[in-house]
Structure 1
Amino acid sequence: MELSDIRREYTRGGLRRNDLPDEPLSLFDKWLKQAIEANLTDPTAMTVATVDEDGQPYQRIVLLKHFDKDGFVFYTNLGSRKALHLSNNAKISLHFPWHPIERQVHITGQAEKLSKLEVMKYFASRPKESQIAAWASKQSSRLSARGVLEGKFFELKQKFANGEVPLPTFWGGYRVRVNSIEFWQGGENRLHDRFLYSLEDDNWSVERLAP
């Protein structure tokens, strides 16, 4: 089969302007809950896109850990490639690809570092093995072999076997302050429904976009 022949119809229903709330977070909350109830694999997984100093875009998958009116939160190594990009250009894009329920959500905004208190609170809630892994991995750096990483993890696991794992100074998180949120619902005959919420002077405007 040719790649160009792979396609399917989107038949789960549409999204209408009259069904939209005045602000987007309540709709995002509803869609996320429905993605979880549908037993999607990693419903909180989102693509995070950043741009380096030469204008080259990069994408990777991270997990959403919290959201509210103040923004969308994720955690990472502060020496990672994404963190280095954000230190030069705080503009960021998030994308939730909920393919099995024929939905997507795309978010644009500005990333800002979380406070140390917020980071410490979340780090303490992680499983101990995940805490140790944060210490073991110098994210985005080059590795000669997987064994080097596993050896470092085992060494640290023994070191912290009988005590708490402290918060690494190089580990933190970001809150994405939202500028826009687009909701995409698959439609029959490729007539998809797209609505774009844009934040202007603390007020949300909404427009329908052509598919």
Structure 2
Amino acid sequence: MADPNDSINSLEHTISDAATGSTISSTLRGLLSSAHHSTIVYLLVYMDDILVMGNNQTVLDDLLSKLSIAFKIRDLGELGFFLGIETIKCADGLMLSQRRYMNDILKRAGIADCKPLATPLSILSPSSVSSDLYDDVIRYRSLASALQYLTVTRPDLSFAGTLSMGLRLRKSASTKLHAFSDSDWAGCPEDRKSISGYVVFLGTNLVS
């Protein structure tokens, strides 16, 4: 079995070769970035899928050419669907949507034909907790994990059922991070646990 580190190292060498003088950074596993003067390139790697982004088309074309020599790859063109996330072009930026992914969750849960609600959860008071256990534990865990991944474009899971909505990304002059949080101390009527929430903005874009 091939060592994943060898592939990452090979990718780093290919990026450096395409963008001469660039500095390669890998702060997250599978995410590579390159910066040289005003040129920025990002590579997101997951299994055998690679997402390439940048602000210099000439450097990107050269990088793709070198990647095709170093690896057996096929250029699928502009980003459309990646890891369950659909990228939709808008007049002022992009919208990230998981509509297909949500439809798949509804089918797996057997509720694809249910009528949608604008606010699936009560806005007046927390619902009482049921003591009945879910019959299929494996299916329950699978659905819970699927909903967790849905927070990529649904930071607030209480609105996870809104199929037509997505996460809008617009060009921002700022790259500063801003975080806001709030808490409802001992707000749960069942066990008096506190409920907290937060949002994180990169520039003017909500990212978490």
TM-score scaled to structure 1, two decimals?
0.24
Give 1 or 2 for the bigger CA radius of gyration: 2
Higher strand share: 1
The higher relative CO (CA closer than 8 Å, separation ≥ 6) is in 1
